Amino acid sequence: MTCSFHRMLWAPVLWCLAMPAAAQDDFFKRKEKESRGFFDQKKEESERFFKEREEFSKAWFAQKERISREWFNQRQRETELWRKYTSDVRSVFGRYEDAPPRTWQEYMPSLGTRTLFDFDKKEFQIEILVPKDSKDGSKVAVERAGQHLRGLYGDNVRDMNDLLRYDDGRPVDRSNLEDYIQKELGGRIKPTGREVRGKDGKVMIVYGASAGMVQDLHIRRAKKYIPLVERWAAEYGLPKQFVLGIMWQESRFNPDARSHVGALGLMQLMPQYAAHECFRWLTKDDKAPMPPNTFILDPQNNVMLGVTYLHLLMSKYFGQAVADPTKRTYFSIAAYNWGPRKFLFNLIKQNDIAALPNETVFRMIRENPRVPNETRDYLHYVTGAMSDWDRIMRENRL
């Protein structure tokens, strides 16, 4: 068997040696040419590959640089537009007031109107400034209020056209908005007894009115965003009620929510912190630029970034330190509000978290005097909202 194998191995060599010298020269020249052609081809392919990769890298970095520059310019424009907007408001109203995240406020300086939707109280307020020398101030006020509401209800981007209701409970939509303005809201608009002097010295009478918002507001708003929540919760294996509880507590499903510290959108993301960290993680690029506010406020992007942040808290920050998913959720909720502080990790190190009951870990954070009151309350409210949304989804088949 071994002898037969060796004969097979050496057969080509023996065959070549048996050839005449001239034939051997031709054979080796041919083989050398074939080998040289093969290696030349491989070298050409390799050079072409590296050249294409270099061109792709140059194009990628050029595109990245262009996007970074565009986003930087966009942030600059946003800052200038916001500065102009608040300046215009102050010149007309004499002041600009920040609104809490769970309300939606909009000034229209050109009309001299201000609206405020309070998602907690389910109450709508409107103020209208009318020149003191107007002959029919009430009529002017109703006309301007109507213009403001038509603008809000016609805005497809923010999609806030399902908030108001008639006194009998019927929701106000685009089809009956004019009827609502004339028959209900118009009759409520009265002088408030206040006056405002603008920068031009003109004295304005403040008219105002309040009205109710739809009672099932939370379900109506949630339905708009549940498909997004399902998409990203499934991506990271998180419970839907976890995401909905955070979103409800942060913004009451208000896509245009802006806090006084700069947090934005449905999940109240800080652009320079959570939003930027998650964008870098999603793009797998530590040098990715900070997205502009318009990008973060878009509901699709906001939910994507917000749920990604919850995933990072549950995995990157607390994944190894806390094995139990319920206890890890408690720490992640606290960190979503307070940030992944060193104190939270010290709590984990100083206590045998694995051996403690869930209720004890909850109280450890909730009743700890070194944890800010806002964060302690936040943990309480979010866990309560998670239970509520678990029930609401089952009852309403969401």
Instruction: Quote the pLDDT of residue 330.
Output: 97
Instruction: Quote the pLDDT of residue 148.
Output: 94
Instruction: Quote the pLDDT of residue 321.
Output: 92
Rg (CA), the chain: 33
Q: CB of 331 within 8 A of CB of 344?
A: yes
Instruction: Quote the pLDDT of residue 53.
Output: 66
Tokens of 118: 């309070």
**Surface-to-core class of residue 253, CB atoms within 10 Å of its CB (0-12 exposed, 13-18 middle, 19+ buried):** buried
As a CATH number, domain 218-396 is 1.10.530.10
Instruction: Quote the pLDDT of residue 79.
Output: 82
Pick from 149, 165, 166: nearest CA to 141: 149
Per-residue 3-state assignment (H helix, E strand, C coil) for 345-396: HHHHHHCCHHHCCHHHHHHHHHCCCCCCHHHHHHHHHHHHHHHHHHHHHHHH
Within 10 angstroms of residue 5's Cβ, the number of other Cβ atoms is 9
Pick from 124, 105, 149, 150: nearest CA to 217: 124
Instruction: Quote the pLDDT of residue 13.
Output: 56
Q: Spell out the domain ranges in the chain.
A: 23-88, 103-215, 218-396
Per-residue pLDDT of the chain (398 residues; tens, 9 = 90+): 555 655 555 555 555 556 666 666 676 677 677 777 777 777 777 777 666 666 655 665 666 677 677 767 877 887 888 889 889 998 888 888 888 767 888 999 999 999 999 988 999 999 999 999 888 999 999 999 999 999 988 876 666 677 899 999 999 988 999 999 999 999 999 999 999 988 778 899 999 999 999 988 889 889 999 999 999 999 999 999 999 999 999 999 988 888 888 899 999 999 999 999 999 999 998 888 899 999 999 999 999 999 999 999 999 999 999 999 999 999 999 999 999 988 899 999 999 999 999 999 999 999 999 999 999 999 999 999 999 999 999 998 87
Pick from 265, 154, 145, 271: nearest CA to 211: 145
DSSP per-residue letters across 293-313: HHHHHSHHHHHHHHHHHHHHI
